[in-house]
Amino acid sequence: MAKKLAIIASKGTLDWAYPPFILASTAAALDYEVQIFFTFYGLTLLKRDVDDLKVSPLGNPAMPMPVPMPNLMQMLPGMESMATLMMKQKISDKGVASIEELRSLCQEAGVKLIACQMTVDLFDFRKEDFIDGIELGGAATFFEFAGEADVSLFV
Amino acid sequence: MEFDRELDARGLNCPLPILRCKKALAEIDSGKVLKVVATDAGSVKDFQAFCKQTGNALLSFAEGGGEFTFFMRKR
């Protein structure tokens, strides 16, 4: 029987969008059965357009910067856009896949994507906001799969 | 070494070489040999791990000029 990987994706920034999709697509390539449960800000990763995902240097002292920059400067208008632009440039320079590509590879490989119904309601999202082929479910839905999973991760 | 299909994974970073390899293997018959060329240094360990976990045989691995070449036989 195939091994199972269950992931909770709770973050919606460009950097944190990577771990769930990288791990899910790779596990699928290793013949795992995979489900990702998207909740709170993670729901953003299921939107049709993920081009506007951002990364913020604010409150993230580990983010490599070309020049050292005090926190106060990082909250100035435009800093977030600049950091995002730089990150996207790096991503393409280094041959790292885009989120959109990894996400569609996950779907092709049969990774089940589940949007948390409660947070969809909380944020007034509509199912039409999301890509096709996803399911809606609650915590019990997650545990139905995670309870039998070999690996469970919270991102 | 003789091979039945070649995959150019140069310039791609984790996890793309593995994902493309999985696809290429799906398109050849059991017992056929796939050649993969990659530039991602992490792919050396990753392809070993991939083959070990999927049961495909890693026939050989060579490094030269910043490129890593793998031959694997589909299970």
Q: Give the model confidence (pLDDT) of A97-113 as tens digits.
A: 999 999 999 999 999 99
Q: What are phi and psi of A96, to 5 degrees?
A: -85, 140
Rounded Cα–Cα distance for residues B46 and B40 (Å): 10
ipTM of the complex: 0.90
A4-51+98-154 CATH: 3.40.1260.10
Q: Which residue in B11, B12, B18 is closest to A29 by CB distance?
A: B18
pLDDT digits (tens, 9 = 90+) for B20-52: 999 999 999 999 999 999 999 999 999 999 999
Q: How far apart are the first and last CA of chain A?
A: 26
Q: Is B21 a catalytic residue?
A: no
Q: How many domains are there within chain B?
A: 1
Q: For the domain that residue B54 is a member of, what is the CATH number?
A: 3.30.110.40
pTM above 0.95, yes or no: no
Domain of B52, in residue numbers: 5-73
Percent of chain A residues past pLDDT 90, beyond the cut:
85
Q: Hey, where are the domains in chain A?
A: 4-51+98-154
Contact predicate A38/A115, CB 8 Å? yes
To the nearest whole Å, the CA of B2 is away from the closest chain A CA by: 25
Residues from A contacting B (CB-CB < 8 Å) are 22, 25-26, 29-31, 94-97, 102, 105, 109
| B52 in contact with chain A, both atoms CB, cutoff 8 A | no
